[in-house]
Amino acid sequence: MTGMTEAGTPTDKRVVLDVEELSISYGSKSALRDASFSVYENEIFGIIGPANSGKTSLLKAINRMDLVTSGMKVDGHVRFLGREVRKWKNVFALRRMIGVVFPLPVGLPLSIYDNVSLAPKLAGVSKKSELDDIVERCLTRAALWEEVKDRLDSLGSLLSGGQQQRLTIARALSQNPRLLMLDEFSIAVDPVTTMRIEDVLKELRQEVSIVLVTNLVQQAERLADRTAFFLNGEVVEIGATSALFNGECSDTRTTDYIEGRFG
């Protein structure tokens, strides 16, 4: 991988996601320029920065949502498990391995059970007992099982906002992803539920790599192993989260953002 040297980069873990000189534009408007970084197995990689810094566009490029986003142009390289994402012939197979949780919970117009079991069914799982196990396991991992186990046939859309967000996480996990990407998951979630989801993410890092885009710098400090600071479509700095939040930034803009002087 080329690009900036990353402080705190693991040397003994497999690279799950490798982004190299990635640029994204919409027509004549640039959203991201020459971004380069790697995400390793069993880590939470935090991305912070103000609005319009290219964070969400990055996630779209990783998950090949440029295919359905009008005017979006992607240049550079995104390699997932060593393969260029734009060379995957089956984009749906790629997306099954990359779970995405968006800022606002998007529940399917289905029961709680069917929200979680849909992806396994589409992947060929048909035995009821096996589907039952998947639904319970994923809802448990998303810290939702105890709250909904007696009403799995109820519509997912009838759950509270925080419960719907956790249902979205359970649905993403039902695909057994190798990478889980969360985009500002706590925007529509109360503080208590936010902390519960954060606890879930800490547990999940043992099983899946996580890219966490957050507008809450304190959330990155609590969760991320490494953090990248994006500003105006540029990756300003990447480093071990503990170092960045202890004032060991190489760019004063990172320090200013973390300490709340802008953004």
Count other C-beta atoms under 10 Å from residue 225's C-beta: 18
* Per-run averaged pLDDT (10 residues), the chain, 263 residues: 48 88 95 97 96 93 92 96 92 90 76 94 92 95 92 93 89 92 84 87 92 94 97 96 95 94 77
Q: How far apart are CA 68 and CA 171, in angstroms?
A: 21
Question: What stretch of H or E contains 234?
Answer: strand 234-240
Q: How far apart are CA 23 and CA 66, in angstroms?
A: 12
Residue pair 41/209 in contact by the 8 Å Cβ criterion: yes
Report pLDDT for 243: 96
The pair of three-digit structure tokens given for residue 216, joined into one six-digit string: 């809450």
The pair of three-digit structure tokens given for residue 252, joined into one six-digit string: 């004063």
Residue pair 93/174 in contact by the 8 Å Cβ criterion: no
Q: How far apart are CA 72 and CA 252, in angstroms?
A: 31
Can you list the positions of beta strands (E) in 90-233?
Answer: 98-101, 179-183, 209-213, 226-231
Can you list the positions of beta strands (E) in the chain?
Answer: 15-26, 29-40, 44-48, 72-80, 83-84, 98-101, 179-183, 209-213, 226-231, 234-240
Bridge partners of residue 231, in order along the sequence: 234
Q: How far apart are CA 63 and CA 80, in angstroms?
A: 10
Residue pair 8/227 in contact by the 8 Å Cβ criterion: no
Report pLDDT for 3: 35
List of domains in the chain? 15-258 (3.40.50.300)
Q: How far apart are CA 144 and CA 146, in angstroms?
A: 6
> Whole-model pTM?
0.88
DSSP-based three-state secondary structure for 87: helix
Report pLDDT for 179: 96
- Of the candidates 109, 106, 116, 151, the one whose C-alpha atom is nearest the C-alpha of residue 137 is 116
DSSP-based three-state secondary structure for 111: strand
Q: How far apart are CA 101 and CA 172, in angstroms?
A: 7
Count other C-beta atoms under 10 Å from residue 150's C-beta: 8
Report pLDDT for 11: 59
